Amino acid sequence: MSKIILHIDLNQFFVRCEEIKNPSLIGKPVAVGGDGRRGIVSTCSYKAREYGIHSGMPMFQAKMLCKDLIITDVDFEYYELMSKEFIDYVKKYTYKIEQMSIDECFCDITEAYNKIGNGDILKFLKGFQIGLYKKTQLNCSIGVASTKFLAKMGSDIKKPNGITIIRKRDIEKIIFPLPVKDFFGIGKKTAPRLEKIGFSTIGELYYGLKNDDIRLKDYFESGKDTIISQLEGNSSNEIYSSYGDPKSIGQTRTLNYDTNDAAVIKKFLENMIDNVINDFLKLNMLCKTIQITYKDADCSKDFKTKTCSKSFSDYTNDKKQIRNAGLDLFTETYDHTTIRLIGFTIKSLKAKHDVAVQMTFENFEQHEKENKTQMIINDLNRKAKKKIFFRLSDLTDKHYDEN
């Protein structure tokens, strides 16, 4: 039997969080992000989108499009708190959760549905949506399929609060007529170029790649076979969950928009590092290695993933050391490629009592010397039948203690 994979996408998440804090914002044009000439729209309300405002747009342009635009600062701490509430709710159904960003995740509900679904997937998922709203006041759209790609495509089709089920036999009917710009992974720059050379829909792109259309030769490298596999319903359905994994702990997050702005990415990463470290410290463990993951935003290059790691000389749980090492690793490894996703992981975890103290050769010699000295002193005290012999350091410590 095929797996039941969901992609759950929280609708206008940052804005919804602000509405929960301040209900007077509901139904108004709202943009979350930095104000000023260098400010960027992180996300915006559906009302704001009616004016042509979108994520990644400079805030000064957004204000030109809508004079009544309400701008709120990003409150990452609150958003992370709400995101954890979201994931905690999903855990009621499954621990097979792969969180892709602060407001979206994949999950495998095959086991839960077989137990309590009663053969009605639509009713089951509507119950999920209602329960999530009651617990968190958050709304979500859900894509349902046997692969992650199709589930992701499904969650984008009906917003807000939509549920789209894509069975393998329905791919041509549901996915192929969609505009090529709606293909998950086709960049904003690539889509208009594809349209210009005659590929306006996803179906046209599929048949073009399948038949080695020469017009596509310059647009896709190793990504061709991946796209074909995705559109035939044969791509990955594996959920890479960090929950319950004792060997590592981390987060992988999709950026609010594709970017190669190092300052924007670093700020995003800093918040992620702090969250991962806080979760790591709750485990009461030590770590040896940290890792940063970058995912290229270019679909034509098969969304290439690069991982970079650094190991400490000794196991540690020092928050400052781990944080600084993470930021240094970013500075050393980020090559200004436009990316869509970044991750930070603390690896090689061990319980404190399992980590042996490694002696250097000098420490070993000193330890042996002190041990032999103590054995001689113990032997003398036994012969004297009282404790009258001490090492000088012990005697000095005893003197200070008494004064």
Q: How far apart are CA 241 and CA 249, in angstroms?
A: 10
Q: Is 80 a catalytic residue?
A: no
Q: How far apart are CA 72 and CA 34, in angstroms?
A: 8
Instruction: Find the helix packing angle between 262-282 and 76-90, rounded to 10°.
Output: 50
Q: Which of these, 314, 311, 269, lies nearest to 291 by C-alpha position? A: 311
Q: Residue 17: how many CB atoms within 10 A of its CB? A: 25
Q: How far apart are CA 204 and CA 207, in angstroms?
A: 5
Q: Choose the catalytic residue: 85, 104, 221, 238.
A: 104
The residues, ordered by sequence, that sit 6+ positions from 22 with a Cβ below 8 Å of its Cβ are none
Structure tokens at 302: 């098969």
Q: How far apart are CA 343 and CA 371, in angstroms?
A: 48
CA 172 to chain centre: 31
| Length, in residues, of the chain | 403
Rounded (10°) CA dihedral 204, 210, 214, 217: 100
Catalytic residue numbers? 104
